[in-house]
Amino acid sequence: MAAILIDGKATAAKVNDEVRERVKILKDRSVTPCLAVVMVGDNPASLSYIKGKQKALSETGMEGRVIRLPETTTEAELLTVIAKLNSDSSVHGILVQHPFPGHISEEKVFNAIESRKDVDCFHPLSLGKLLMGQQCFLPCTPQGIVYMLKELKIALSGSHVVVVGRSNIVGKPLALLLTRKEFNATVTICHTGTKDLAYHTRQADILIAAAGKIGLITGDMIKKGAAVIDVGVNQAPGTNRLHGDVVFEEALEVAGCITPVPGGVGPMTISMLLQNVLESAERS
């Protein structure tokens, strides 16, 4: 029996409907939630991501303020733009689209964003609060994954979750989030240095692939009936087709449920970003 497809678009639409209603309440108080997106250069993938975010912001009644800077922008100039956005009371969230040009330090940029506007949860203070279980914006992709699992009524408490990938955007914060007492999962993190990856992935009640490598997880690496969340968005060489980290056709025959690529995790990431911007506006 084929796995159930997890419809990220439908779940995201539900979240966006709730966000839209809360935005209306704020607008009645003359507050319009605003996300400022800063982009340096003309990376085509980044432009596409920004368009998607702008569309979602507009559809929920929020403001999307895009600041595009030339590739030649210096690190000091970018930090000055961020400082102005930090002090602008009409801006509730700041997102600097990466990747950055090589002459700009990712660390300095993320550190420059005030934590109260850090809706992507990249600032060290935000990540520290996440580690300590304190109130903070939750990172968008991990938050979206947990939301989907809860919507599907997949038990997290006591489940063994294997996360393949250790990025600061997905793998590490997701592991921190899942081990919080309210979720109570047991988490194993695997990465490029893991020996016998298949041994670990076959133990997973919930397998989350976030390594950024096409076809890394094959069907024989998945436990029968496991929930499979594919975070990978990889473009096949010489094509415009997107692939996940999981060999979808093989996994479909083994997993209990699985996210497609695209249409799985991606829409939820944007919805959680909208939710974080909204919460920032509500706090203000």
- pLDDT tens for 181-195 read 999 999 999 998 999
- Asked which of 25-39, 121-135, 150-164, 170-184 is least confident by mean pLDDT, the reply is 121-135
Q: Which of 17, 55, 88, 97 is the catalytic position?
A: 97
Distance, in Å, from the CA atom of 275 to the CA atom of 272, rounded to the nearest integer, reads 5
Indicate the domain borders of the chain.
30-116, 140-265
Q: Which residue has the higher pLDDT, 172 or 2?
A: 172
Task: Check pLDDT > 70 for residue 1.
Answer: no
HSE at residue 174, side-chain half, CA atoms within 13 A, is 31
Tell me if the domain spanning 140-265 has CATH number 3.40.50.720: yes
Q: Which of 24, 28, 42, 53 is the catalytic position?
A: 53
For this structure, is 245 an active site residue?
no
pTM of the model: 0.94
Encode 147-159: b = buried (16+ Cβ within 10 Å), e = exposed: bbbeeeebebeeb
Task: Check pLDDT > 90 for residue 238.
Answer: no
Name the amino acid, one letter, at 44. P
Distance, in Å, from the CA atom of 219 to the CA atom of 202, rounded to the nearest integer, reads 10
- Per the listing, tokens 């420059």 go with 112
Q: Report the length, in residues, of the chain.
A: 284
For this structure, is 97 an active site residue?
yes
In this predicted model, what pLDDT tens digit does every residue of 157-177 receive, in sequence order? 999 999 999 999 999 999 999
For this structure, is 220 an active site residue?
no
**Banded pLDDT at 234 (limits 50, 70, 90):** confident
Topology agreement, domain 30-116 and domain 140-265: yes
- Under CATH, which architecture does the 30-116 domain have? 3-Layer(aba) Sandwich (3.40)
Q: How is residue 98 written in tokens?
A: 């990466």
Q: Which of 118, 120, 230, 245 is the catalytic position?
A: 120
